[in-house]
């Protein structure tokens, strides 16, 4: 399967690779497209988007590789999410991820619903115990719901798939890479999706949703 992965981290937050090295390693892995989404609150938004975008532009120019800079709004106050998502887009982010209510972190309750209700959000990451209201909102607002390859966060994948399927919320796969070994391979991507309970048809849809994220980014940012 083609590898689309819009949730990864670099030294701009808590990843171990610089943006341009992450890009290089994704190309070597055979990625079709990459997004870098470093952890942000409000203070770092403009700096992080600017620095990541500069390396994306470099890779696009010299390697002809589609890579885009987003952000992952992480542990921010729930009620600030619409404002921060709009500020990120205004600062040049190609897309916005929200760090959802992972079963393994004390994310503020209500974060999942706030993210799914915000049209400026593109991906609700690792939502954990996804509920019906959130899945309905995600479907209505075009917010992709993440199936994650990340250990710990992935304890919610089964529930995420079940509830998303019930309400037509659209799923996307991410690695949430922090180190080079976290990047996806076609085999591992397929295994994560099968393990989360998806059928072959649903896996093909996840791949199509990755393509759609790429088209969204291209429409928003030109280098």
Residues that bind Zn ion (CB under 5 A): 72, 99, 125, 176
* Cβ contact 130:115 at 8 Å: no
87/101 with CB nearer Zn ion: 101
Q: How far apart are CB 38 and Zn ion at their closest, in Å?
A: 8
Q: How far apart are CA 147 and CA 136, in angstroms?
A: 17
Q: Select from 44, 26, 46 the least CA-distant residue to 174.
A: 26
87/176 with CB nearer Zn ion: 176
Nearest residue to the partner Zn ion, using Cβ: 99
98/169 with CB nearer Zn ion: 98
- Tell me the pairing of strands 171-174 and 67-73: unpaired
10/117 with CB nearer Zn ion: 10
117/175 with CB nearer Zn ion: 175
Q: Select from 105, 184, 115, 107 the least CA-distant residue to 145.
A: 115
Q: How far apart are CA 47 and CA 33, in angstroms?
A: 23
- Tell me the pairing of strands 123-125 and 33-40: unpaired
Q: How far apart are CB 151 and Zn ion at their closest, in Å?
A: 12
Q: How far apart are CB 150 and Zn ion at their closest, in Å?
A: 7
Q: How far apart are CA 41 and CA 4, in angstroms?
A: 25
Q: How far apart are CB 200 and Zn ion at their closest, in Å?
A: 28
Q: How far apart are CB 40 and Zn ion at their closest, in Å?
A: 11
């Amino acid at each position: 399967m083609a590898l689309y992965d819009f949730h990864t981290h670099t030294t701009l937050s808590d990843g171990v690779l610089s943006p341009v090295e992450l890009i290089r390693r994704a190309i070597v892995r055979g990625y079709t497209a990459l997004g870098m989404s470093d952890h942000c609150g409000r203070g770092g938004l403009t700096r992080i988007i600017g620095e990541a975008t500069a390396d994306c532009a470099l890779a696009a120019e010299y390697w002809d590789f589609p890579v885009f800079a987003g952000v992952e709004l992480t542990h921010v106050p729930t009620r600030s999410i619409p404002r921060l998502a709009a500020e990120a887009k205004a600062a040049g982010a190609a897309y916005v991820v929200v760090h959802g209510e992972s079963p393994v972190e004390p994310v503020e309750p209500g974060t999942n619903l706030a993210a799914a209700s915000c049209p400026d959000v593109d991906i609700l990451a690792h939502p954990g115990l996804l509920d019906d209201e959130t899945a309905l909102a995600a479907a209505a607002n075009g917010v992709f719901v993440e199936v994650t390859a990340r250990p710990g966060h992935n304890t919610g994948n089964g529930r995420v798939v079940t509830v998303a399927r019930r309400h037509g919320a659209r799923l996307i796969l991410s690695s949430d890479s922090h180190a080079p070994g976290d990047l996806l391979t076609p085999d591992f991507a397929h295994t994560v999706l099968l393990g989360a309970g998806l059928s072959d048809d649903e896996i093909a849809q996840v791949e199509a949703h990755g393509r759609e994220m790429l088209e969204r980014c291209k429409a928003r940012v030109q280098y």
